[in-house]
Structures are given as C-alpha cells and as structure tokens.
Amino acid sequence: MPRKKTANRDLILRVPKNATLKQIYAIAKKQFTAADLQEHIERKDARPLDTVKLLKELEEIHLRTLSKRKTRR
C-alpha cells in the first residue's frame, strides 16, 4: 500500500553513525525536493509592499543609528 502524502510532513534525515558534515549535507540535498522549496518561497498571506514607505523607514532608521554613533564618540 503506498504512503499517504501529507502537506505538513516533517523531514527526518537518516544518516549513518559517525557521518561527516559533508555526508550529512549530501543526504539532505538528495532529500530536498522542488515541493519543499516551493513551500518556503510561497507565502499565502503575502502583501505587496509600498516601496517608497519602506525606503523612508529604512532611511530614518539609518539616520538614527548614525546619530547615536556620533553622540557616543
């Protein structure tokens, strides 16, 4: 009887005892599929960002940190 495919499966790596890090990475790479990648890339609640607003906020944060650095010296 074939296994049931579940949407929320846990990845368990079966590695030999005393496996090197290189071997563990190779096993993980073999088991990682395109479906796994798609799960990490796709966001169901993603919303488009207002880039102008985001850039303004980042610039304000940058200026604040610069002013903090100048006052410490």
How much is the pLDDT for 47? 63
**What is the rounded distance in angstroms from the CA atom of residue 15 to the CA atom of residue 26?**
10
For residue 72, name the pLDDT band (cuts at 50, 70, 90): low
The whole-model pTM stands at: 0.41
Higher per-residue pLDDT: 20 or 5: 20
Output the CA angle 47-42-61, nearest 5 degrees: 50
For residue 35, name the pLDDT band (cuts at 50, 70, 90): confident
Closest CA to 15 of 2, 30, 35: 30
What average pLDDT does range 15-20 have in this prediction? Answer: 92
How much is the pLDDT for 36? 77
